[in-house]
């Protein structure tokens, strides 16, 4: 059973636009991670959030963990073509990472 | 230096064959995993090992047998390959309990013909 739903599934935007990707669940997680995966490569860890309400920034990327530790969002400011890729959220509980369905982002120059 | 490396990157084989995928991590992590990514890019856990001991076996067919000779290595052996086994298999590692996230290998694309 898939525990994490991501939206949107696909996103195609112009360079310079802002966007937000959502990761929702009915389960509480001890921590949540965001990864980016490029074709032919493995997922690369971007960030881990642990505390409810926590906000982390990584250059133009802002990650937030929901207060109840059930959901998260990823906001990208002024997207660039280099941001293109598959974004995956993953919740961690009981020695497992439960992955979301993924958001495929395409940033056009 | 590659943190998590798995070989081979591509594997094409016939139904019924037996094949192995090797994985090594140099991060000093205690926990290693095998994940399967399907054609829709959904990642599902198969196995998790902590200090060479199996801690998660996620209802994977018995044809799949992981082996961890030491905590830096986790190999995956697959017997009697079936068409439905075609997928990308990822090895990953994390610190104990994994709360800080996992580091993934480049993946092995297995194609069964």
CB B22 within 8 A of CB B41: no
CB atoms A37 and B90 under 8 Å: no
| Cβ–Cβ contact A86 with B under 8 A | yes
Confidence of residue B88 (pLDDT cuts 50, 70, 90): very high
Say yes or no to pLDDT of B98 above 70: no
Give the H/E segment covering residue A84. Answer: none
Mean pLDDT computed over B31-39: 94
Residue of A nearest to B100 (CA): A48
Mean pLDDT across B3-18:
97
Q: pLDDT at position A93, please?
A: 86
Judge whether B101 is closer than 8 Å to chain A, CB to CB: yes
| Nearest in space to B31 (alpha carbons), one of B87, B107, B100 | B100
Output the tens digit of pLDDT for each of chain A's 109 residues.
548 999 999 999 999 999 999 999 999 999 999 999 999 999 999 999 999 999 999 999 999 999 999 999 999 999 999 999 999 999 998 888 999 989 999 999 9
d(CA A50, CA A42): 23
């Amino acid at each position: 059973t898939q525990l994490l739903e991501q939206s949107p599934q696909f996103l195609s935007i112009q360079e310079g636009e802002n966007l937000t990707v959502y990761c929702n669940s009915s389960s509480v997680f001890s921590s949540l991670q965001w990864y980016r995966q490029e074709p032919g490569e493995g997922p690369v860890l971007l960030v881990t959030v642990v505390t409810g309400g926590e906000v982390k920034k990584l250059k133009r990327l802002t990650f937030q963990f929901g207060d109840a530790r059930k959901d998260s969002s990823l906001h990208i400011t002024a997207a660039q073509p280099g941001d293109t890729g598959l974004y995956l959220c993953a919740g961690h509980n009981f020695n497992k990472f439960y992955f979301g369905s993924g958001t495929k982002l395409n940033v056009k120059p | 230096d590659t943190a998590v490396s798995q070989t081979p990157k591509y594997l094409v084989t016939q139904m019924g064959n037996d094949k192995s995928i090797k994985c090594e991590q140099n991060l000093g992590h205690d926990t290693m995993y095998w994940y399967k990514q399907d054609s829709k890019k959904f990642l599902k856990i198969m196995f998790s090992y902590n200090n060479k001991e199996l801690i998660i076996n996620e209802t994977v067919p018995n044809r799949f047998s992981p082996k961890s000779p030491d905590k830096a290595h986790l190999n995956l052996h697959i017997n009697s390959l079936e068409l439905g086994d075609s997928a990308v298999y990822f090895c990953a590692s994390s610190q104990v309990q994994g709360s800080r996230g996992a580091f993934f290998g480049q993946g092995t694309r297995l194609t069964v013909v």
